[in-house]
Amino acid sequence: MLRTGDSLFVLDEPADPDAYLAPTGEGGLAYNRPPRLSPLRPRARLVVPALPGKGETTRFQILSSLVPLAFGLIMYFVTKQIYMLLFCLMSPLMMISQWVSE
């Protein structure tokens, strides 16, 4: 190795070029390197879920259907208004509507 100012010179044997070099008529070398293809990336796999089976049957929600009945009775005894008993009628209507919708 020889250092001269900011330059560094190294004496080494030439290596084989990694590309095809052909002399041109103008005194230069034609450089032809085949394209370097990157390796194929693995394709994303499509995972198809299994077909859904028959799910669990919905349970009859008796507690939520009886809440209007309890509310109507409590409000009737607290306020002594007969109109509060209309909430009690909502309880069977809710039970029937839930049964029909299922």
pLDDT of residue 60: 67
Q: Residue 10 and residue 4: Cα distance in Å, rounded?
A: 11
Q: What is d(CA 94, CA 62) in angstroms, rounded to the nearest whole number?
A: 10
pLDDT at 3 over 80: yes
Q: Residue 58's pLDDT is what?
A: 67
Q: Is residue 87 part of a domain?
A: yes
| 33-88 pLDDT tens trace | 777 777 888 888 888 888 877 766 666 677 777 888 888 889 889 998 888 888 78
Structural domain of 79: 62-101
Report the domain count for the chain. 1
Measured between alpha carbons, how far is 70 from 89 in angstroms, rounded to an integer?
A: 11
> Does residue 94 lie within any of the structural domains?
yes
Give the E-state strand segments of the chain in sequence order: 2-4, 7-9, 20-23, 29-32
Answer whether residue 31 is part of any domain. Answer: no
DSSP 28: S
Confidence (pLDDT) at 88: 81
Q: Is 89 inside any structural domain?
A: yes
Does residue 72 form part of some domain?
Answer: yes
Residue 46 within a domain: no
Q: Does a structural domain hold residue 81?
A: yes
| Mean pLDDT across 22-43 | 80
